[in-house]
């Protein structure tokens, strides 16, 4: 879930670095391999530890070429590396306690100004809320007064935004019941949900560029999660959700993972699978499929497939960005476990 129309999802250009590294499973037509609780706990533990240490060390990874996670110098436009909101929301979902030092670092680094986009606002709101700071009373570095990021986001135009951005905005603005829509807002939760529904393509999915040929499971999963979290009672939203889930059902790979299409082939990867698990976990009626199956032709459940990408260190196999790879897998497992308890990882008091 990214900071721009392309970066709000792991697009094909980014996902090329993951390669075809889907874990291999064997299963007969009557047996789909699921993730046992012990296997879940083992893989989740090391992945969570990696995610936590990125925040502690303020690094986008724990080995190889890394940069500062939160830094105005390293990330002058946003003050944080792309993918930071997913990382923080996932850690919050697992009950991580952010330290005062970490909160101060995040608050002093994030950049919000007249050039900030709707995606910048949405990610900042998610990140600040996740660590326990108030986005409606945020004091940007160097500013004399606090600003209300929620009101600022409501004043952004949604007319030309991509489905990815609309999804991020919906998730950000529905994180807390205390977020209020200002009188001069350019849209409402309802109108934004309707707009996202209108972006759904004829094959039941969503695309980052609003074309049927570019529909993918990442963007579709994000739209499903956002619409589900909007809690809209509109029949059009309910219909769109049902059709979106049908898309996920039809596009699971034989390994149980999800992926992007490149040169006519689906390249399964951890991040696409994580997005799908988050979407499946957004409704009580579908969370069973996260560690279950749509078809007995699947070798494994999406959860089992995704956790197969987790290395012994907690990093993600083939990820070109461990911040995005680790962050989204950690968010997916938190979303799944929260859903089993009837909660949403995106609802924060």
Q: How far apart are CA 7 and CA 169, in angstroms?
A: 14
Long-range contacts of 141-145 (CB under 8 A, 24+ apart): 141/72, 141/79, 141/107, 141/108, 141/109, 141/110, 141/111
- The average pLDDT across 28-39 equals 83
Is the pLDDT at 30 greater than 70, yes or no?
no
**Contact present, 150 and 180 (Cβ < 8 Å):** yes
Domains in the chain with CATH codes:
12-340 (1.50.10.20)
pLDDT at 232 (0 to 100): 93
State the pLDDT confidence band at 4, using cuts at 50, 70 and 90. Answer: very low
pLDDT at 31 (0 to 100): 85
- The average pLDDT across 54-66 equals 96
Name the phi and psi angles at 322, rounded to 5. -70, -25
**Contact present, 305 and 260 (Cβ < 8 Å):** no
Is the pLDDT at 123 greater than 90, yes or no?
yes
For 151-213, give the secondary structure using H, E and C: HHHHCCCCCCCCHHHHHHHHHHHCCCCCCCCCCCCCCCHHHHHHHHHHCCCCCCCECCCCCHH
pLDDT at 122 (0 to 100): 98
* pLDDT-wise least confident of 43-47, 138-142, 283-287: 138-142
pLDDT at 7 (0 to 100): 35
**Contact present, 174 and 346 (Cβ < 8 Å):** yes
Is the pLDDT at 139 greater than 50, yes or no?
yes
State the pLDDT confidence band at 170, using cuts at 50, 70 and 90. Answer: very high
pLDDT at 19 (0 to 100): 35
- The average pLDDT across 41-58 equals 98
- The average pLDDT across 134-155 equals 93
- The SS3 of residue 57 is helix
User: Between 4 and 290, whose confidence is greater?
Assistant: 290
pLDDT at 263 (0 to 100): 80
pLDDT at 144 (0 to 100): 85
Sort 153 into a burial class: Cβ within 10 Å, 0-12 / 13-18 / 19+: buried
- The average pLDDT across 231-246 equals 96
- The average pLDDT across 207-226 equals 95
- The average pLDDT across 249-277 equals 93
**Contact present, 318 and 312 (Cβ < 8 Å):** no
Is the pLDDT at 235 greater than 70, yes or no?
yes
State the pLDDT confidence band at 13, using cuts at 50, 70 and 90. Answer: very low
State the pLDDT confidence band at 257, using cuts at 50, 70 and 90. Answer: very high
- The SS3 of residue 59 is strand
Is the pLDDT at 24 greater than 70, yes or no?
no
Instruction: Say what the alpha-carbon torsion angle 299, 304, 309, 312 is, to the nearest 10 degrees.
Output: -130
Instruction: Count CA atoms within 13 Å of residue 148 on its CB side.
Output: 11
**Contact present, 211 and 165 (Cβ < 8 Å):** no
Q: How far apart are CA 10 and CA 15, in angstroms?
A: 6
Sign of CA dihedral 27, 31, 34, 37: negative
């Amino acid at each position: 879930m990214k900071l721009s129309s392309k970066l709000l999802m792991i697009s094909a250009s980014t996902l090329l670095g993951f390669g075809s590294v889907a874990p291999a499973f064997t299963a007969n037509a009557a047996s789909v391999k699921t993730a046992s609780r012990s296997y879940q706990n083992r893989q989740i533990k090391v992945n969570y530890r990696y995610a936590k240490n990125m925040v502690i060390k303020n690094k986008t990874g724990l080995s190889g070429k890394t940069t500062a996670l939160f830094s105005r110098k390293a990330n002058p436009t946003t003050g944080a590396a792309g993918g930071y909101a997913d990382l923080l929301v996932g850690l919050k979902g697992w009950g991580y306690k952010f330290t005062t030092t970490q909160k101060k670092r995040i608050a002093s680094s994030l950049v919000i100004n007249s050039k900030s986009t709707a995606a910048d606002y949405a990610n900042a709101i998610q990140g600040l809320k996740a660590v326990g700071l108030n986005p409606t009373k945020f004091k940007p570095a160097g500013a004399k007064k606090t600003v209300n990021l929620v009101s600022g986001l409501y004043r952004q135009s949604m007319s030309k935004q991509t489905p990815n951005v609309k999804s991020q905005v919906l998730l950000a603005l529905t994180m807390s019941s205390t977020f209020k829509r200002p009188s001069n807002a350019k849209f409402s939760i309802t109108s934004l949900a309707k707009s996202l529904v209108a972006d759904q393509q004829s094959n039941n999915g969503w695309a980052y560029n609003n074309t049927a040929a570019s529909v993918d499971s990442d963007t579709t999963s994000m739209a499903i999660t956002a619409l589900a979290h909007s809690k809209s009672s509109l029949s059009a939203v309910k219909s769109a959700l049902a059709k979106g889930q049908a898309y996920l059902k039809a596009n699971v790979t034989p390994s149980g993972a999800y992926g992007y299409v490149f040169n006519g082939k689906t390249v399964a990867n951890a991040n696409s699978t994580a997005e799908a698990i988050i979407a499946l976990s957004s409704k009580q009626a579908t969370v069973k499929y996260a560690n279950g199956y749509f078809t007995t032709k699947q070798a494994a459940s999406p959860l089992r497939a995704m956790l197969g990408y987790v290395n012994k260190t907690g990093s993600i196999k083939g990820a070109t960005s461990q911040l995005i790879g680790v962050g989204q897998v950690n968010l997916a497992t938190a979303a799944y476990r929260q859903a089993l308890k009837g909660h949403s990882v995106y609802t924060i008091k």
